[in-house]
Amino acid sequence: MARIQQIGGRQRGLGRSRRRGGGRPMSEINVTPFVDVMLVLLIIFMVAAPLLTVGVPIDLPKTAATALPSDSEEPLTITITSSGELQIQTTPTPREELIPKLRAIATEREGRRIFLRADGAVSYKDVMEVMGALNASGFSNVGLVTDTGGPTLDQSEQ
């Protein structure tokens, strides 16, 4: 049993020390580990999100043009591979089915912006045929996707 000593009119127990709160468990949530995990996840998603847009490997031509401003809606992308295959986002699409599929997509979308990605080895004729199909499907705002840092008309590199 603990000894009791009288100091200045008050009794103090010697030996056993009591926890603050009378031995009840702490009912507060420690949010520091939660915030740490959320910040790590935020960084991971910020790095991974741009890589998830379109995963079709093509060799884009390089130009000195700047990027277009982005919308709130996910961009619709048509890709022409070096072998001439057409893809809507990542889904291969035969040429004869391109216009009906795009018309069906156009009824569900608010914006009329579409991005055209074409391999540098694809002929100008093939690119223009697809652009005509995009216009016939109701997409009048066509953005051509290229890599930045290419040569300008005065042959200087940017």
Q: Which domains, from first to last, does the chain contain?
A: 89-146 (3.30.420.270)
The neighbour count for residue 134, using CB atoms within 10 Å, is 22
User: pLDDT per residue over 43-102, tens digit each?
Assistant: 998 888 776 665 666 677 777 666 655 556 677 888 888 888 898 888 888 888 888 888
Task: Count the neighbouring beta carbons within 10 Å of the beta carbon of residue 75.
Answer: 16
Q: In angstroms, how far is CA 125 from the centroid of its own chain?
A: 32
Residue 9's pLDDT is 55
Average pLDDT over the chain reads 77
- Give the CA angle between residues 103, 110, 106 to the nearest 5°: 5
What per-residue confidence (pLDDT) applies to 16? 54
Name residue, tokens 């093939």: 126
Q: 17 pLDDT exceeds 60?
A: no
Which range is least confidently modeled, 16-20, 43-47, 87-91, 131-135? 16-20
- Phi/psi of residue 46, each to 5°? -65, -35
pLDDT (mean) for 129-154: 80
Q: Which amino acid is at 81?
A: T
- Which residues, 6+ apart, have CB-to-CB distance to 4 below 8 Å? 11, 12, 13, 14
